[in-house]
Chain A
Amino acid sequence: AAAFERRVLRRAAEHHYLRVRLELPDAGARPNAAQFKQLVVTALKELHGEVGAALPVDVLTYEEKTLSAILRVISSGLVKLWSALTLLGFYQNRRCAFRVLQTSPFLLALSGNSRELIL
């Protein structure tokens, strides 16, 4: 029988991926991709200052209809990004909220959603 070996790597991934959805309860103009990224960077800047705004965040996909996006951030900056998204309250003086649907260090894991059993 082959020897069984289990390896656990903690904090090995370079990037973390977040699937987020922006909730804008009022009916108004929806942000496009550039404005969405501007919103994310503004959130980081408010909570974590210039250092936070300089965090390398990428918007990998963005759907304007559902206002959902996949963000990629360097692993050491995940806490800063997530806390900044949580505490963002306003977009152009309109109430808004970020909901984080999935997060994973692997992009492939975001394709299946075990919460709603969409695999």
Chain B
Amino acid sequence: MVRFKNRYVLCEVVSEDPRCRQCIEDRALGLAVRDAIARVHGDYGLACCSISFTVKYLNAYTGTVLLRCRKDWYRLLCSALPFVRYLESRAQRYPCFLNTLHVGGTIRTCQKFLIQYNRTQLLRLLQNCTNEEERQCIQKSLLRCSLTEEQSQSGDEEEDDGTE
């Protein structure tokens, strides 16, 4: 009973509308998630999950979101995430959904997972890309982030250019 334990939920925002990317911001997303929790779990669920709830990390280019909540109530949060149907900002609604990728106990484990995930996503993008210059870009990113003997450190891989 020494410290408060948190759970970090890593999700990605998937939307068909390309304009949705610009409205991915932490306040809009936080409000949307809290609204979904209030609908699904009522006042009690909203109060429980809001104790230590923040949007810790947000990447608008890749749509990656890291949410934090208390360890006792992370199941309420995870069960309410499929009920987020749209993001609202500046009086505009964009339909979207949240894909849960990983639930971790610390930011570091989520970061490790995200690095692995981004690597596999790059490989998938390489298979599906149509343009020659896109292919060159992705191949360059892949070479930079895979381990070679010359490179002394392979950190900072999650700072990919996010080309699509």
Contact = CB atoms under 8 A, between A and B. Distances in A.
Most buried by A among B38, B40, B43: B43
B64 to A, nearest CB: 27
A63 interface: no
A90 to B, nearest CB: 14
Interface stretch (A21-29, A42-50, A64-72, A108-116): A42-50
Contacts, number: 31
B41 interface: yes
Interface of A: 44-52, 83
Interface of B: 37-45, 79
Main secondary structure of the interface of A (DSSP, over half): helix
Contacts of B38: 49
A47 B39 CA distance: 10
A46 B43 contact: yes
A33 B79 CA distance: 33
9 contacts: A44-B42, A46-B43, A47-B42, A49-B37, A49-B41, A49-B45, A51-B41, A52-B41, A52-B42
Contacts of A46: 42-43
B40 A51 contact: yes
Most buried by B among A45, A48, A49, A51: A49
Contacts of A45: 42
A50 B44 contact: no
B162 to A, nearest CB: 36
A99 to B, nearest CB: 21
A48 B44 contact: yes
A88 to B, nearest CB: 12
B77 to A, nearest CB: 13
A47 B47 CA distance: 10
A46 B38 CA distance: 9
